[in-house]
Amino acid sequence: MPAHILIVEDEEPLTLLLRYNLESEGYGVESVGRGDEAETRLRESVPDLVILDWMLPGLSGIELCRRLRTRPETERLPVIMLTARGEETERVRGLATGADDYVVKPFSVPELLARVRALLRRAKPEHVATLLRAGDIELDRETHRVHRAGREVHLGPTEFRLLEFLMQSPGRVFSREQLLDGVWGQDVYIDERTVDVHVGRLRKAINRGRQSDPIRTVRGAGYSFNEMFARSH
């Protein structure tokens, strides 16, 4: 059963970005935009992890986090605090209040997803798949190694993240812009054609001889991991 994550954030564009990327990773996602609504929601049922903004209407994230730590049902609930406050004293305050991790805006989406996985791995290890398999390709998130039909495939860090991102959602077509956000992060400003270069490198590394290409190019749209390939072998 996938982990369930609650996003407590009042910036709708950021909420949509987080929901999209978390759902792409296979998590169940809910969101609320006010601190007091989040407190009510958390009394009804407890998710596996909370992504919590510091500044919220109704009730601040820092106060909500403090209250969560006073309740037996939520005292060990993993919490990642999001904030524009980057000063060391504020980070210390957030962690001292009970946050398990602290991410300063603007942040890299891949980094946040890695922090989510790390927290869940410690708190709910049964919810985090360290091994992704599709067709004859196997990707190990812990060792950062990839094998195809038993052969080790040597990938650079960017090609590894790109393959991981595509394998998480077989059949789903991602535009170049979506791949840039999901693999490189929103705060990185590079040309969209950079995606084509790295897809080319990835294809060269994973395809040998007459092996079928698992990456599908959708003209005018982007790229996807071939769903039929993922079901084969």
> Is the same domain home to 63 and 111?
yes
> Is the same domain home to 150 and 107?
no
> Is the same domain home to 26 and 112?
yes
Q: Which residue among 98, 121, 144 closes a domain?
A: 121
> Is the same domain home to 160 and 61?
no
pTM, full prediction:
0.58
Nearest to 171 by CA among 133, 132, 229, 226: 226
* CATH number (domain holding residue 178): 1.10.10.10
Looking up tokens 């959708």 gives 218
What was the pLDDT predicted at 65? 93
Domain span at residue 218? 129-229
Query: What are the structure tokens assigned to 156, written together?
Result: 């650079």
Q: Can you give the length of the chain in residues?
A: 233
* CATH number (domain holding residue 37): 3.40.50.2300
User: One digit per residue, pLDDT tens: the chain, 233 residues?
Assistant: 578 999 999 999 999 999 988 887 778 899 999 999 999 999 998 999 999 998 899 999 999 999 999 999 999 999 999 988 666 676 676 677 788 998 888 888 888 888 898 888 887 665 566 788 888 999 988 788 999 989 999 999 999 989 988 887 788 888 888 888 778 875 567 788 899 999 999 999 999 888 889 998 888 788 888 877 766 65
Q: How far apart are CA 42 and CA 21, in angstroms?
A: 22
Looking up tokens 């407190």 gives 39
Q: Which residue among 69, 99, 121 closes a domain?
A: 121
How many helices (H) and strands (E) are present in the chain, helices listed first? 9, 11
Sort 126 into a burial class: Cβ within 10 Å, 0-12 / 13-18 / 19+: exposed
Q: How far apart are CA 36 and CA 102, in angstroms?
A: 21
> Is the same domain home to 33 and 92?
yes
What was the pLDDT predicted at 186? 59
> Is the same domain home to 20 and 105?
yes
On whether the CB atoms of residues 61 and 55 are closer than 8 A, the answer is yes
What was the pLDDT predicted at 232? 61
Q: Which residue among 101, 121, 141 closes a domain?
A: 121
Query: What are the structure tokens assigned to 24, written together?
Result: 């792409």
Residue type, 24: S
Domains of the chain: total: 2
Looking up tokens 């950062």 gives 144
> Is the same domain home to 39 and 59?
yes
Nearest to 205 by CA among 160, 161, 169: 160
